[in-house]
Structure 1
Amino acid sequence: MDLTPARRRMRTKRLLSKISSGVILWALAALFIMPFVWMLSSSLKRNIDVFAVPVRWIPDPVQWSNYVEVWLGDHSMLRYFGNSLLVTTVSVAGDLITASMAGYAFALLTFAGRDKVFLIYLATAIVPYQLLLVPRFMFFQQLGLYDTLWALILPGIFTLFGTFLLRQFFIACPPELGEAARIDGAGEWSVFWRVYLPQAKPMLAALAIIRFVGSWNDYETPLVMLSDERKYTVPLGLTQFIDAEGGLSAGLAMAASVSSVVPILIVFLIFQRQFVAALAHAGLK
């Protein structure tokens, strides 16, 4: 079927638009991924080669010993990873439980002062996080929890963001589902557990990813709450790779940094479908 000149020009214009958009997106993707490629390359270099100009993207020679030192040396990342995994896993699990229950209560339960309590709770978001570090430090010190991992876990179990996210999700759910379950004799806990919570799986997965990344990368809280090097988490552990002259050992630091990114990538790959589904659900609403 022959196309008219106008249709040919329109098709050519659309094709050029797609090509130009693709080129721009690939260029942006390369720009964003370049620092990670440099970090991976530097993790296999000698310290003297890390900041060499021009940049050598392919290490020569390849220093696999950097990873051996990072994982089996005096400041082994195994200990830091264990501490971070414990803190992050318990914090995320606790936040998913408390956020889902609180979000359901604020969205679908009726009790005196519900909206006022939620507004007061929401107003705490205006308080800068850094402003709470000193009061938390004094509070946990009086409780005898200073320099313990509980000082990192407990604040992460209750988060305003998680409660707000789940509340907005439950508000958007059809109320007829809960009413039908109640007519069939289901209690409030059964309505929450069997009817509404299964629908919230994509949103819970999205919250889990966001909270995992935030907890895993948290530097300020461990810096204030911990003094024992054996209890350091990964962000603090990255500061331990200092050479004999007191300067940063760049090759070891890059190898440790590459290692610290791997758990985040694994978590995202596991929950990426639910995360995309949560974004799609939020967009439809």
Structure 2
Amino acid sequence: KFIECSRHPNINILTYTEVDRVEGEAGDFKVTLIKKPRYILDDKCRGCTTCTEYCPVKIPDKYNQNLSDSKCTHIYFSQSVPLVTYIDPETCLFLKDGKCNICVGVCKNKAIDLHQKEEKVEIEVGAVILAPGYEAFDARLRGDYGYGKMQNVVSGLDFERILCSTGPYEGEIRRPSDGKHPKKIAWISCVGSRQVIPGGNSYCSAVCCTYTQKQVILAKDHDAEIEATIFHNDVRSFGKDFERFYQRTENLPGIRFIRSYVSIGKELPESKNVTIKYST
């Protein structure tokens, strides 16, 4: 959809841009925007990634939830709009210490400008639509689950990237610790939702039951021998056909739904397997 929007003659997408100020009244707003520097000239970059190949600085790939590495000079993901490179100012050797400009030399289109600055832009609009979206829960706040400490404990977003063909393992389900295919996977629902804990939310997310079921179905498609267990408070099917989706998941072989609060006991040092404690 985003690519379709970028091609529409009446839609102008300003990426890597923040709203600084909104003034005026309904039907007549003046919006001040801050366009952040990519250190790339959008009209010259062709997304060839030659600069990425030569960049000497490796960084964790945020788009892949830090499950793989990227380069300081990179395209954020394969369907980025616009499809141009971005240079991370926090890790670029030139922007930090003035020590490297290899990317400038290898770019045939002369698209790199390491001296690019922030730019203020003003536009006039008749209406403003607020679409803030969601903020992902930081699972590290649930210390008893071991996220961020145990290698094979991943979040829902992590697993989405693992399942994806453009993800860290090219769509294969592999354990972050050793790259092996897991035979047993447990999903814990309601992490950060329906829990009064620091950083948590007392309300239901309305999505995690169904996306967990989707992930289980995809995992079984990848490997029919996987044993899947879903731990939950209860199953809530909010949307259209969500209940039918739940029934489909429940009827698959090798899948258990267990209503229970759980805690992750420990990580076995040699295998990096994880043990889970629960009561019913």
TM-score by length of 2: 0.19
- Structure scoring higher RCO (CA < 8 A, sep ≥ 6) equals 1
**Max radius of gyration: which structure?**
1
More helix by share: 1
